[in-house]
Amino acid sequence: MSTATKKEHKSNRPQRGGVATFVEAIRQGLWEEMERDPTVFIIGEDVGLYGGAFKVTDGLLDEFGEGRVIDTPISEAAIVGAACGAALLGMRPVAEFQFIDFISPGFDMLTNYAAKCRYRWGAGLPTVFRGPCGAGVHSGPFHSLNAEAMFLNTAGLK
């Protein structure tokens, strides 16, 4: 007779509606989309076990599993490339960066591949690239970039 006990799954689902912080609102939106659409998945550094840099993905691994909440090595270019490849195969990836500053190594793939797929081949890439930006968390010069201008001036990105 086994003495192992089955771990009871307790959902960490965010509360719907009401007043929410930015983190709570993003987490709620991710959760709802992952419930609604089985092709939505999250990929990035520490998004699974750790729950994301600011706990945006907290509880998603337990709820949706390792196939849809994917921890990656520290390689932002690989994260962008994997998200683009998955989108071309019909998935809907959400690529998360610990801070948006770190998207820089993946910017070539983002601007010269992802942004141009529709123009080159008529192929859309339904992908979200997200990460925290700006000041206010006392993280120094490498964690406080506001990258909006880089994205807004790239044809093909929305």
Domains of the chain (ranges; CATH) run 22-152 (3.40.50.970)
pLDDT in tens, the chain (158 residues): 434 444 454 567 777 778 889 899 999 999 999 999 999 999 999 999 999 989 999 999 999 999 999 999 999 999 999 999 999 999 999 999 988 888 888 989 999 999 999 889 888 899 999 988 876 666 677 777 777 878 888 888 88
Q: Can you tell me the distance from the alpha carbon of 152 to that of 115, in angstroms, rounded to the nearest whole number? A: 11
Instruction: Name the 3-class secondary structure at 14.
Output: coil
What is the per-residue burial (b if ≥16 Cβ within 10 Å, else e) of 65-87? eeebbbbbeeebeebbbbbbebb
Q: Can you tell me the distance from the alpha carbon of 124 to that of 32, in angstroms, rounded to the nearest whole number? A: 23
For 110, other C-beta atoms within 10 Å of its C-beta total 26
Our answer to whether residue 138 is catalytic in this structure is no
- Among 27, 68, 92, 143, the active-site one is 143
